[in-house]
Amino acid sequence: MTFPVVGMVGGGQLARMTHEAGIPLGIRFKLLSDTPQDSAAQVVNDVVIGDYRDLETLRAFAQGCDVVTFDHEHVPAEHLRILEAEGVVIRPGIEALRHAQDKGVMRARLDEIGVPCPRHRIVTDAADVTRFAEEGAGFPVVLKTVRGGYDGKGVWVVGDETAAAEPFRAGVPVLAEEKVDFARELAANVVRSPHGQAVAYPVVESVQTDGVCDTVIAPAPELSAELSAQAQRLALRVAEELDVVGHLAVELFETRDGRILVNELAMRPHNSGHWTQDGAITSQFANHVRAVLDLPLGDPRPRAKWTVMVNVLGGDYPDMYPAYLHCMARDPGLKIHMYGKDVKPGRKVGHVNTYGDDLADVIARARHAADYLRGTITE
């Protein structure tokens, strides 16, 4: 036995932070990245620059890896099936991953196993969206391209049939969902290993602005112990039924009458788990690495009463460094995570974590730093 090589497809910040988590574990890390400038490609030593949509590139990359895992869900399923048949160890495997790659497949499977979801069905054109609304959901309807979306790209809230034409232009099947009047959004994050060990993180509240994750509070404030346990059990059950290996994020809606509905699944480290870097005994990234290598999983319990994560989005100032100096000086307890990405308005370029006993204070400190870095406040 020797220390294995984890290969990650995709050079974004999730790969960068997974690599970081593997360093103290002594794990060797290999990356397939689109360009040398990508967030993870800047810091990983063993990088292949290539196109993840190309089978030969994937095949050559997998040669040097004991296990292949992912920073995103966009690798073509047909390629992964071929590689699996050739003996490449892919975790999560394609039979699990396809539920995170395609929102239609995900909904169908969740229905099958009796997991509560918003009312939904695949729609064929704008007129069919109207029929879907008339079947009981009513307008506005949420439309989603089944593949390729992220950060709210690929999600439309449409008020009528005219507006419903747009999502069909991409040539990808479209899923219609009732627009849930949720009280808030939650995420139940679990990690599962091939031998079936699983751990559940505390259920968090996540706040999305314009479809992009903005704030995560761990644990979700005032969530009843019952609903919290129910959400954790649900996520563990989904992980087991779908045979997920690695980190699974189950995005949830908490309804105003105290039920939970599943929004979507992500089978990789997830933005709703970034708080674990500073707020949990074992981070989601470290546990993802452990899981894909079938190592014993680390303790998911929190280290502080409250941990808050706020994403740092790009603003109008291309250089965040002066603001960064200010934030660091102002709050020595602030945990800053920057991704090495160029600043573009609205782009996720980093996040900050704060923790402590006083929730209002913990939120205010993280909020302040993220806003100051973005340049929306100057004091």
Ligand X SMILES: Nc1ncnc2c1ncn2[C@@H]1O[C@H](COP(=O)(O)OP(=O)(O)O)[C@@H](O)[C@H]1O
Q: Please give the residue ranges that form the binding site for ligand X (CB under 6 A).
A: 118, 142, 144, 149-152, 154-155, 177, 179-180, 185, 208, 211, 251, 263-264
Cβ-based nearer residue to Mg ion, 66 or 264: 264
Least distance in Å: CB of 153 to ligand X?
Answer: 6
Least distance in Å: CB of 14 to ligand X?
Answer: 14
Cβ-based nearer residue to ligand X, 71 or 264: 264
Query: Could you tell which of Mg ion, ligand X, none binds residue 185, using a CB distance below 5 to 8 A set by kind?
Result: ligand X
Least distance in Å: CB of 17 to ligand X?
Answer: 18
Amino acid at 82: I
Q: How far apart are CA 100 and CA 107, in angstroms?
A: 10
Query: Could you tell which of Mg ion, ligand X, none binds residue 246, using a CB distance below 5 to 8 A set by kind?
Result: none
Q: How far apart are CA 61 and CA 46, in angstroms?
A: 11
Q: Going by DSSP bridges, is the β-strand pair 182-192/246-255 parallel, antiparallel, or unpaired?
A: antiparallel
User: Which tokens in the block code for residue 258?
Assistant: 């105290």
Phi, psi of 103 (to 5 degrees): -70, -25
Task: Judge whether 300 and 277 are in contact, CB under 8 Å.
Answer: no
Query: Could you tell which of Mg ion, ligand X, none binds residue 149, using a CB distance below 5 to 8 A set by kind?
Result: ligand X
Query: Could you tell which of ligand X, Mg ion, none binds residue 273, using a CB distance below 5 to 8 A set by kind?
Result: none
Q: How big is the site for Mg ion, counted in residues (CB under 5 A)?
A: 2
Cβ-based nearer residue to ligand X, 62 or 133: 133
Least distance in Å: CB of 121 to ligand X?
Answer: 12
Q: Which residues pair with 264 in a beta bridge?
A: 251
DSSP state of 150: B
Cβ-based nearer residue to ligand X, 180 or 188: 180
Cβ-based nearer residue to ligand X, 38 or 254: 254
Cβ-based nearer residue to ligand X, 152 or 356: 152
Cβ-based nearer residue to ligand X, 100 or 126: 100
- Among 61, 51, 53, smallest CA distance to 90 is for 61
User: Does residue 140 have a cis bond before it (omega within 30 degrees)?
Assistant: yes
| Among 112-120, 249-257, 317-325, 370-378, the segment contacting Mg ion (CB under 5 A) | 249-257
Binding characters for Mg ion, 262-291, by CB under 5 A (x = yes): --x---------------------------
- For the chain, what percentages of helix, strand and coil (3-state, to nearest 5) are there? 35, 30, 40
- Among 56, 23, 61, 20, smallest CA distance to 40 is for 20
Q: How far apart are CA 38 and CA 10, in angstroms?
A: 9
| Among 8-16, 51-59, 245-253, 352-360, the segment contacting Mg ion (CB under 5 A) | 245-253
Least distance in Å: CB of 350 to ligand X?
Answer: 19
Least distance in Å: CB of 149 to ligand X?
Answer: 4
Task: Judge whether 232 and 250 are in contact, CB under 8 Å.
Answer: no
Task: Judge whether 104 and 149 are in contact, CB under 8 Å.
Answer: no
Cβ-based nearer residue to Mg ion, 180 or 323: 180
Query: Could you tell which of ligand X, Mg ion, none binds residue 298, using a CB distance below 5 to 8 A set by kind?
Result: none
Least distance in Å: CB of 42 to ligand X?
Answer: 25
- Say how many residues make up the chain: 379
Least distance in Å: CB of 177 to ligand X?
Answer: 4
Query: Could you tell which of Mg ion, ligand X, none binds residue 152, using a CB distance below 5 to 8 A set by kind?
Result: ligand X
Count of C-beta atoms within a 10 Å radius of residue 31: 26
Cβ-based nearer residue to ligand X, 22 or 118: 118
Encode 17-56 in three state secondary structure: HHHHHHCCCCCEEEEEECCCCCCCCCCCCEEEECCCCCHH
| Among 57-65, 100-108, 196-204, 261-269, the segment contacting Mg ion (CB under 5 A) | 261-269
User: Does residue 36 have a cis bond before it (omega within 30 degrees)?
Assistant: no
Least distance in Å: CB of 120 to ligand X?
Answer: 8
Q: How close are the terminal C-alpha atoms of the chain, in Å?
A: 55
Contacts made by residues 147-150, CB under 8 angstroms, sequence distance 24+: 147/74, 147/101, 147/102, 147/103, 147/172, 147/173, 148/74, 148/172, 149/103, 150/72
DSSP state of 90: B
Contacts to Mg ion by CB under 5 A: 251, 264
